[in-house]
Structure 1
Amino acid sequence: MRLLALLTFLTFTTTSYADCAFDQDVCEASCKLRFITNDAEKAGCISRCVAERTLCSAKIGAGKAKEFGEEALEESKSFIEGFTADQAKDLGKKAWENTKLFIGGMIDKPKDESTD
């Protein structure tokens, strides 16, 4: 009976555990003890535990994705700030010249050295 009271207390405390798997284990153990004689209620309770774990994992994943996105944004800002408009213009001109040379090389036929 003390174990049931402890598990129930742990399940319903407002303290949030960082480990979603541990929370699920505690929840399932509580379900098994509360509904020891009713398999249908036990299965429903365990399903709720699985859903809570899914939600817990999703929240943690979303938090990590947000952190990663913020870091990537900061890195992009510093790259863009270091890349001036003049540099972009020069880079564009060079790319255009190289493209014209490439296309010219594809179109122009090589001169036959024997006809010279």
Structure 2
Amino acid sequence: MNDQPLTLSEMADDQPLTLPEVAAITGLSLRSIERGCRAGTIEHTTKGDGTIKRHRLMYPPQVRKLLAARQVGATKPVEVVPAVDDDLAAARAATRRMLARTGRRVA
């Protein structure tokens, strides 16, 4: 018997995963996954009635969707915003330097 856990691609789509299992597979923290589920930003399936005993489960397609959503921002290159010469910003900075020398507070 193989002791290695199944990967996400090897699992059947109808096999539910608990949130600790999802955290182990994705590398995300359990706390961040729980917060996302509570806030409604992470798609999941609830099991149980009421608020006394509620279990959150995720199916492999939902986990794949979570991973895809997390990788969207990571693949974009960082855009460098060029510095703009702003006369008003330069005047404010000069005033702050002047008032810092005199010891008065700047609003």
* Smaller-chain TM-score bracket: under 0.3
Which one has a larger percent strand, Structure 1 or Structure 2? 2
* Higher normalized contact order (CA 8 Å, seq sep 6+, divided by chain length): 2
Q: Which has the larger radius of gyration?
A: 1
Q: TM-score, normalised by structure 1?
A: 0.26
